[in-house]
Structure 1
């Protein structure tokens, strides 16, 4: 059998399509069910008819799970309006609750923003912030502290997006990307390509806006796509970092620019007084607004299995409730994996079919997880992630967890047939916390 043939493709659309070819998902995919134009405040109950993308059961209201044998029951006390537990590599949905309910996403929408825009600019690119860059930021937005007429690297800006959920950083990057309107259009186009058909973007930062919705299913699809990008994995798993401050004159009259530390607001990653860091956690993104309530998508690894969990708007208002319910679902998912019959799947992007056809040509194949680094570039053999708790050269502290994964898509050429592995390996995400 010929050896696997791999080639890195740097352009973001090719990355999205070609690297996901390893999914080869087989369930039929339907279009999102039509629904009334969503208002700022969602209804208290899920619609009777929802999308069936990923499987018929995922379009049904209520909890969907197929227990078998000694599989544990879904944990009690989960009050979220919508949630999903899925295997990040195989795409199997282990359980879900109102998975396609279109709800305000809050800052989890920034995952789609990053998956769309991050590959466009090398992280070393510097940008001087103009007053116009910061226009239109919603009142009460979360901010990282960007100042007009100061220069920031793209790396700085993405740290602001992922760690502090800074809407100011999102608006600056959007300005670099041709403006907010152009960025929103590109995000909606990318969501459609991913088959995240419950999603409608109005504001790139996730700020409450009429008609801005997503779903637990879509957010999980988006996170899964983003995690194929090296820089996305790095930023979403960073616990703390140094961020440039404002240029000021010191006592000697010399203009100097200091920095300040920023912490990740993902409490399963950074911990809090009432919740511990979740073992094996590797990201992804949290959010909280008036209309959305608390939202969160997380990825974690245990014993070589990688799960994605999304939780949207818990009814219980306890402090850090969204993280507590996510942790319960992670615990259940790791215990139930292999003991439940999947109730659906995370579908492949629309481009996968074309990528599969192109794969018959060896020059069209690609290695997942190496492209999508900002500005292109592939991970080299022997590259090692920053150890947990270590401080990288740029001052950021990365929390890397081993995801026990293979190095790339296996492209097998046998009897003229193009075959791909159904699993979607996640490359070196984070090193397990000791």
Structure 2
């Protein structure tokens, strides 16, 4: 992350994998990466988007957890990992969600796709639309399962973006990713994410494997209110993806921290405003601000608010009035827009005229 010259932090671990990335969930900062933008087959990591779309529709109110889904012949015949649904039966949305997440069921994924979009092809189009909205610029989906297709690909970075959105946007469903087993149709299957057994701080997310993709794992863990997300792609075995993911997470937690520096709508400063009923307005952030920094370096952070010099009324809550710059040893760590936290109406005619003259002779008006 660029601080090696100022802070004693070892280089990130080198993994036996095709690509990987480690990010902080709150700040979005990338802590370590290797070939993170290489397009690779994502295998069943695809199902994170399948389950995300189902969670999205639940949140939108278009489907409910107790809705029943009729299983088609196509869903029933899907090869590979399965939930073991039966053709012609009805299965609840809640069970299908667990079937996708915990059992990595290809049959459950297709059932979800057909229920939400009418066909898997139409569902793949929805997947790609949502991927673009998230900023997943090197991803293209052809199906809901991750079964091999030359035009079906993603990257470690894009899958980390997806993981972060899932965790932050729909926390009410995220707990499913930590469940170690699920029994459906009297068939008990365990979660393939072995980190759930080895590390109590790990609570998700998803495994993937095909001969083309190798063994992949998107994982997330929380320690002392710091949440990290790792994505490791193209390892040689189930054990390898587990060990390599553990290395990344351990490195991040050992050498970094992500403190909350400021709260949303906290008063940070007052901005000078021209032509207003008052001469200043309170300013701050509209979201909590987190920064990922070397562990123990928080006292060395410096904050500077750079306000626009010629702000003029009227202003309303949410108008951008400047920038907050957080730096560490001269290097910018975070740069966020600063907004007005209150409305400010225009002043009277003579006040506006007087301020216009001052601004003109001060060079603030051209």
* Range class of TM-score, shorter chain: 0.5 to 0.7
Q: 1:263 aligns with which of 190, 195, 200?
A: 190
Q: Is 1:418 paired with 2:356?
A: no
Answer whether contact 1:295 1:313 (CA < 8 A) is retained.
Answer: yes
In 1, Cα distance between equivalents of 2:180 and 2:124: 28
In 2, Cα distance between equivalents of 1:107 and 1:260: 20
The 5 Å alignment of 1:182-331 reads 182-227=122-167, 228-243=169-184, 245=185, 259-269=186-196, 271=197, 276=198, 278-314=199-235, 317-331=236-250
Partner SS state of residue 283, structure 1 = strand
> Alpha-carbon deviations, 1:323-356, whole Å to 9, x = none?
10000000001112149xxxxxxxxxxxxxxxxx
Q: Name the counterpart of 2:68.
A: 126
In 2, Cα distance between equivalents of 1:292 and 1:189: 23
Aligned length in residues: 263
In 2, Cα distance between equivalents of 1:85 and 1:299: 10
TM-score normalised according to structure 1 size = 0.57
Answer whether contact 2:218 2:231 (CA < 8 A) is retained.
Answer: yes
In 2, Cα distance between equivalents of 1:306 and 1:209: 33
Q: Structure 1 residues 192 and 319 mapped into 2: Cα distance closer, same or farther (>3 Å)?
A: closer
Q: Name the counterpart of 2:305.
A: none
Partner SS state of residue 164, structure 1 = coil
Q: Name the counterpart of 1:334.
A: 253
Where structure 2 has 5 or more consecutive residues not aligned to the other structure, the ranges are 58-62, 259-285, 289-314, 325-333, 336-366
Q: 1:168 aligns with which of 100, 107, 124?
A: 107
Richer in helix (by share):
2
In 1, Cα distance between equivalents of 2:172 and 2:9: 36
Question: What is the Cα deviation at residue 279 of structure 1?
Answer: 2.8
Answer whether contact 1:65 1:96 (CA < 8 A) is retained.
Answer: no
> Alpha-carbon deviations, 1:22-56, whole Å to 9, x = none?
xxxxxxxxxxxxxxxxxxxxxxxxxxxxxxxxxxx
RMSD: 2.7
Q: Structure 1 residues 65 and 207 mapped into 2: Cα distance closer, same or farther (>3 Å)?
A: farther
In 1, Cα distance between equivalents of 2:149 and 2:17: 21
Answer whether contact 2:76 2:84 (CA < 8 A) is retained.
Answer: no
Question: What is the Cα deviation at residue 232 of structure 1?
Answer: 3.5
Question: What is the Cα deviation at residue 132 of structure 1?
Answer: 4.1
Partner SS state of residue 128, structure 2 = helix
Misfit runs of 4+, over 3 Å: 132-135, 419-423
Q: Structure 1 residues 125 and 170 mapped into 2: Cα distance closer, same or farther (>3 Å)?
A: same
Answer whether contact 1:128 1:152 (CA < 8 A) is retained.
Answer: yes
In 1, Cα distance between equivalents of 2:74 and 2:47: 21
Answer whether contact 1:133 1:172 (CA < 8 A) is retained.
Answer: yes
Q: Name the counterpart of 2:348.
A: none
Question: What is the Cα deviation at residue 417 of structure 1?
Answer: 3.9
Larger radius of gyration: 2
Q: Structure 1 residues 101 and 118 mapped into 2: Cα distance closer, same or farther (>3 Å)?
A: same
TM-score normalised according to structure 2 size = 0.67
Question: What is the Cα deviation at residue 240 of structure 1?
Answer: 1.9
Where structure 1 has 5 or more consecutive residues not aligned to the other structure, the ranges are 1-63, 246-258, 340-365, 369-414, 424-434
Question: What is the Cα deviation at residue 306 of structure 1?
Answer: 0.6
Q: Structure 1 residues 318 and 129 mapped into 2: Cα distance closer, same or farther (>3 Å)?
A: closer
Partner SS state of residue 52, structure 2 = helix
Question: What is the Cα deviation at residue 175 of structure 1?
Answer: 1.3
